């Protein structure tokens, strides 16, 4: 499917710590097949508009792209090449209330929204409307979590039953999606692991409080890892860890207790007593250690620590569920296992770690959603239905989608695509995937 060049608007989450996350919507060209599809959806669902004006159902796609902050220029080039900032609504297709596209405002959140405001103005002539980062994180999380809760609607072609999968647990290599009752969603603890970590108690839509955080986060892993292993990127560092053995670096309980457990206090011999505790030996220097082992020890140290502090805060506020988001995790199985282990260990099994499939884009999507409250356009997001086949690779580092022309492809890490139907006022929209063979959609 080709993208049209018309983009509605885009939202960016610029963490400025290390990553820029961009969400934009592109509208499909009107094609007969789309109309037919739309019509049949309407029919199937018996959507009527009653006395209201008839609003077109707009089909399009929501795109998710990320860039390293140091590659801000590539991000700007990307926006420019796709003319995302010139988009605005095509007045042919929208109602006449479409705002003029003169003064383009882009929603942005994260620290970089402040930092890069001038740059965006110079390069693209756009103003940045800064949204509070926490607001966006929470809105994004609630949005994704609510995805699960939407009503099944009919589908046109379906390969398998609708499964709305956003939250999942990940223990010992095993992933399991979690169904959460809408009435039972709040309150929860949202732990966003970016360069640093924020821990947010979420009580409802727009109701939250940043209760804690830690400065030992993704930036620490990357920074320390870079110093110790000379890795060029976060992904390289993670990759290394997969072949590591931390026993050469960490001091385990068994190392202190002559191979035994310290069972009286419930510590097995393989429990880490002191991360990096073994490297005090005079005989070995940094060069004598394998970078794989170092990376693994670092990853465990930081993941355990985050898991522990998260649990202590969940306990403090009586929260049963902890959702972990942020790009530190990036779908890395071992990281999720380690965090899960830590939460389980420290809580004696009382609490469980959960992850969100769209972990890295919570803020960007939250910023996207924030158009609603400002009335900047009439995009209202009420409810979503999403379908996609199991195993759709929406997380991870691979590049999907059509080539992006002249742009340096290394700058684009990840794009996952949904197709979005938008009903302009008052209803909702549905998702389609671009994966072959699975199409569904719903509007209401």
Is 109 a binding residue for other proteins by CB under 8 A? The answer is no
* Region near other proteins per CB under 8 A, out of 14-22, 98-106, 172-180, 393-401: 14-22
Among 6, 75, 191, 249, binds other proteins (CB under 8 A): 249
Options 3, 30, 186, 196; binder of other proteins; rule CB under 8 A = 196
The token pair at 59 is: 């089909």
Select from 42, 114, 320, 400 the one that contacts other proteins (CB under 8 A).
114
Strand order in the sheet with 321-325: 174-177, 167-171, 352-356, 321-325, 188-193, 197-204, 207-214
| 3-class SS of residue 215 | coil
Selection from 245, 339, 351 nearest residue 289 by Cα: 245
Instruction: Tell me if the bond preceding 208 is cis, omega within 30° of 0.
Output: no
**Nearest approach, Cβ of residue 315 and other proteins (Å):** 6
71 touches other proteins (CB under 8 A): no
Provide DSSP, 19-66.
Answer: EEEEEEEEEPPP-HHHHHHHHHHHHHHT---TTSPP-PEEEEEEEEEE
If the CB atoms of residues 328 and 371 are measured against other proteins, the closer one turns out to be 328
Is residue 129 within the footprint of other proteins (CB under 8 A)? no
Whichever of 259 and 426 has its CB closer to other proteins, that residue is 259
- Asked if 228 interacts with other proteins (CB under 8 A), we say yes
The two three-digit tokens of residue 389, written as one number: 């086949």
Q: How far apart are the first and last CA of the chain?
A: 24
Asked if 28 and 65 count as a contact pair (C-beta separation under 8 A), the reply is: no
- Selected from 273, 333, 380, 415, the binder of other proteins by CB under 8 A is 273
Distance in angstroms (rounded) separating the CA atoms of residues 302 and 338 = 9
Contact present, 135 and 305 (Cβ < 8 Å): no
Closest by Cα among 318, 307, 315 to 343: 307
Of residues 39, 87, 40, the one with CA closest to residue 63:
87
For position 304 contacting other proteins by CB under 8 A, the verdict is yes
- Which one of the spans 73-81, 252-260, 412-420, 422-430 is the region binding other proteins (CB under 8 A)? 252-260
Closest Cα partner for 322 from 336, 335, 307?
A: 307
C-alpha to C-alpha distances, 444 to 3, 108, 122, 306, nearest whole angstrom: 24, 29, 41, 41
Of 12-20, 30-38, 57-65, 144-152, which part binds other proteins (CB under 8 A)?
A: 12-20
User: In the stretch 26-65, what mask flags binding to other proteins with x, by CB under 8 A?
Assistant: ----------------------------------------
The single residue among 13, 26, 142, 214 that binds other proteins, judged by CB under 8 A, is 214
Q: Which is nearer to other proteins, 7 or 16 (CB)?
A: 16
Q: Which is nearer to other proteins, 230 or 410 (CB)?
A: 230
Calpha distance 86→5 (Å, rounded): 10
Contact call for residue 278 and other proteins (CB under 8 A): yes
* 316 belongs to the binding site for other proteins (CB under 8 A): yes
Q: Does 276 bind other proteins (CB under 8 A)?
A: yes
Task: By CB under 8 A, tell whether 255 contacts other proteins.
Answer: yes
* Burial degree of 374 (CB within 10 A; 0-12, 13-18, 19+): exposed
Q: Does 17 bind other proteins (CB under 8 A)?
A: yes
Number of residues that bind other proteins (CB under 8 A): 69
Based on CB atoms, which residue is closest to other proteins, 59 or 110?
110
Instruction: List, in sequence order, the alpha helices (H) in 46-151.
Output: 72-81, 111-115, 117-124, 133-147
CB-based burial, 249-282: b 16+ in 10 Å, e otherwise: bbbbbbbeeeeeeeeeeebebeebbebbebbeee
Query: Which is closer to other proteins, CB of 49 or CB of 263?
Result: 263
Taking the least distance from each CB to other proteins, the nearer of 346 and 388 is 346
Q: Does residue number 96 form part of the binding site for other proteins (CB under 8 A)? A: no
How far from 360 is each of 231, 327, 357, 413, CA to CA, in Å?
22, 5, 8, 12
Closer residue to other proteins in complex, CB, 79/253: 253
Binding residues for other proteins, per CB under 8 A? 15-18, 70, 111-112, 114-115, 132, 134, 195-196, 210, 214-220, 222-224, 226-228, 230, 232, 234, 249-251, 253, 255-260, 262, 264-265, 271-282, 285-286, 289, 294, 301, 304-305, 308-309, 312-313, 315-316, 346
């Amino acid at each position: 499917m080709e993208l049209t060049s018309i983009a509605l608007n885009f939202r960016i989450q610029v963490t400025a710590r290390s990553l820029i996350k961009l969400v934009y919507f592109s509208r499909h060209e009107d094609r007969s097949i789309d109309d037919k599809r739309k019509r049949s959806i309407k029919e199937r669902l018996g959507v009527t508009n009653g006395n209201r004006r008839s609003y077109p159902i707009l089909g399009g796609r929501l795109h998710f792209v990320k860039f390293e902050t140091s590659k801000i220029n590539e991000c700007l080039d990307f926006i420019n090449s796709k003319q995302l900032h010139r988009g605005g609504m095509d007045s042919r297709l929208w109602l006449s209330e479409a705002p003029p596209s003169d003064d383009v405002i882009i929603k942005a959140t994260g620290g970089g929204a402040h930092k890069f405001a001038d740059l965006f103005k110079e390069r693209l002539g756009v103003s940045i409307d800064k949204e509070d980062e926490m607001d966006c994180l929470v809105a994004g999380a609630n949005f994704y979590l609510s995805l699960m809760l939407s009503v099944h609607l009919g589908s046109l072609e379906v390969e398998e039953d609708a499964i709305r999968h956003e939250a999942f647990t990940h223990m010992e290599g095993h992933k399991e999606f979690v169904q959460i009752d809408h009435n039972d969603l709040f309150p929860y603890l949202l732990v966003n692991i970016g360069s640093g970590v924020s821990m947010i108690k979420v009580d409802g839509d727009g109701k939250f409080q940043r209760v804690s955080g830690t400065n030992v986060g993704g930036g620490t892993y990357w920074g320390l890892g870079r110093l110790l292993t000379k890795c060029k990127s976060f992904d390289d560092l993670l990759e290394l860890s997969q072949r590591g053995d931390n026993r050469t670096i960490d001091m385990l309980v068994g190392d202190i207790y002559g191979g035994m457990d310290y069972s009286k206090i419930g510590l097995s011999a393989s429990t880490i007593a002191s991360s990096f505790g073994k490297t005090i030996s005079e005989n070995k220097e940094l060069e004598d250690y394998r970078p794989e082992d170092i990376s693994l020890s670092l990853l465990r140290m930081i993941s355990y620590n985050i898991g522990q502090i998260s649990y202590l805060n969940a306990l403090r506020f009586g929260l049963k569920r902890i959702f972990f988001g942020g790009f530190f995790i990036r779908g890395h199985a071992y990281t999720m296992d380690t965090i899960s282990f830590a939460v389980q260990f420290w809580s004696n099994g009382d609490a469980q770690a959960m992850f969100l499939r769209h972990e890295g884009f919570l803020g960007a999507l939250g910023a996207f959603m924030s158009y609603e409250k400002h009335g900047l356009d009439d995009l209202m997001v009420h409810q979503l239905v999403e379908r996609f086949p199991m195993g759709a690779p929406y997380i991870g580092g691979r590049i999907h989608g059509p080539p992006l022309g002249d742009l340096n492809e290394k700058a684009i890490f990840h794009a996952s695509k949904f197709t979005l139907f938008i009903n302009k006022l008052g209803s909702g929209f549905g998702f389609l995937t671009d994966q072959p063979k699975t199409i569904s959609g719903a509007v209401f």
